[in-house]
Structure 1
Amino acid sequence: MTTLSVEGLRAGYGGGTVLHGVDLSVPSGTALAVLGRNGAGKTTLVHTICGLIKPRAGHVRLDGEDLAGRPAHRVARAGVALVPQGRRVFASLTVAEHLRLSRRKGDWTVPRVLELLPRLDERRRHRGDQLSGGEAQMLAIARALLTQPRLLLLDEPCEGLAVDLAERVRAVVAELARGGLTVLLVEQQPEHALAVADRVALLADGVVASTHTADELRADPSLTDHALQVAQH
């Protein structure tokens, strides 16, 4: 069964078009990474999927239900959660307050999230502006999980993190994917994508140039190199 199906998706800003007919799918319980250079359209893609940008054409189907064009709050209620680029936690709220405000009834509970991310348990009384970059990223992931998503979108979750913290974030996302959560991850670093994903879609100039299994890209890194070079032009 396919959780996410994107067909012919076109979107952009003002008079400009960034996505020129994107097609991709994420089978249930798998992780797909969308890999491309800056400007390839990765953030535009996740923002369009989650309703922050209204598409000009195409479909975004979640378990067969077309969400294209719906406002972000309705897409979220349908089961799509975003871990945004740059974390975007509230500076004045404590970790505990973030978790309480995000919580919906379902399998993901606060104790379960804190078991997955024990550092947050130690920092429950700290405000958002007292957290390190890695801790803020963990909080952004926890906040998304507590909304009980069917699809988890992550926009460059390792950006700006030290190597050890990036490895921890990758490990958490990989654990979620192995646990059966459907994940769409956008990245510009192949090592981050390959550490998490079952399959990788190479995005160039607003279209999916090709899709490969992670094993195929590990065996032939030139496939990734070529797509990233093409994305420059």
Structure 2
Amino acid sequence: MKGVHFPVTAIALLAFATLLASASDPSPLQDFCVAINNTDPAVFVNGKFCKNPKLASANDFFSDKLRNPGNTSNPIGSIVTAANVDDIPGLNTLGISFARVDFAPNGLNPPHTHPRATEILIVLEGSLYVGFVTSNGDGNRLFTKVLYKGDVFVFPVGLIHFQLNVGKTNALAIAGLSSQNPGVITIANAVFGSNPPINPDVLAKAFQVDEKEVDYLQKQFWYNNH
């Protein structure tokens, strides 16, 4: 019986597909990798340089950033205080970070995405109307829920999501994110507040509105609450 021969291109494509299928953030190969900015004694690992483990201290794994309420006196009535690898160097390579979200009454954490992280949110005070929208292939379905103290909700990685304070008092939530540096893209800010501005023809067609409306939106001040 003659052997089966595969073209080289087919083998290469199969290998590439296998590589993509198995790609993910790597598991740490050491107990920790405290991030440092000085590159002289370091090895570049996972986006940050590592301090010599023998020089690490408890403070490398500590932050008090989430202790105090953020200032919600802004146009959207919310503020996000992040505690990621830039704030806690010991998070480097561990694939996790946190954020505190403070809301004034009727405060909004506007529609946004985290390109590198799934988010799990727990409400500590007040009540929040939260939701996310699925991708185009899943019909852009909207999932929403009103959360109360102690309730938890998950926002899948990369999907547009939001939180709105629907109570009459201040609200507070803590978010856990599955990345040391999850990133954030606030939709309105990115679309209408980009630098330089996106061509109005593009936005007028995309949103099916008049260019005058696009021009108006691009001239607004888009507040960044992150």
Does 1 or 2 have the higher relative contact order (CA < 8 Å, sep 6+)? 1
Q: Which has the larger radius of gyration?
A: 2
TM over 0.5, shorter chain: no
Give the structure-1-normalised TM-score.
0.24
